[in-house]
Amino acid sequence: MTSVADDLKGALTSVISGVGDVVSVSRNVAKNTIVETIQAGGDVATGSVGVVGEVISEGVTTASETGVSVTEAVSGLVSGTVEGISEVGGDVGGAVVEAAQGSIKGVQAVGGDLGEAAVSVVEGVIQAAREIGGDSGELAKDAVIGTLKAADEIGSEAGGLVRKALLSAVALPHDIIDALLTGKTE
């Protein structure tokens, strides 16, 4: 696999120099890495399973080391990953869950804000759904499930923080979030 860390470091250096934005740079690097890696491996079904987590994990660490906004990078990384998996014909729903889990675990590892990261994951998925023509409600649901599972694995405090952030985020589809978190539909 081409090194996500090397590609992202180089690209994020231009962001720091004022020549781009974190979300688009992260999205482009993640998408290109996913597509190139899976095409080189040839097997979409087995190739996409570990690649998504690795791209997200390396991307979050690199963003943190570079000094750019980790939560902005998460949005771009998730969006690019989903777009890349879609482009090669992989399991988009599975990739969303894996990207969400990888994002939360990666952000926790670098000491970032889990609540903001969870919101960024869902925003990135909704953006990707627009780009690929996917069902944004269904993919947002997968993202919420992935973020909650990862946060709950970290601990009950992390799970509570992510739930609160998802419910408080203005830009997210609250009917979906409410139904997932409470089990009730209006």
The mean pLDDT values, 10 residues at a time, for the chain of 186 residues are 66 65 88 86 59 86 87 94 93 94 95 95 94 92 93 94 86 65 54
Cα Rg of the chain, angstroms: 15
pLDDT for the residue numbered 86 = 94
pLDDT for the residue numbered 53 = 83
Q: Which amino acid is at 62?
A: T
pLDDT for the residue numbered 185 = 45
pLDDT for the residue numbered 1 = 47
pLDDT for the residue numbered 181 = 64
Q: Cα–Cα distance between 159 and 147 in angstroms, integer? A: 9
Q: At what angle do helices 156-168 and 174-182 cross, to 10 degrees?
A: 150
Whole-model pTM? 0.86
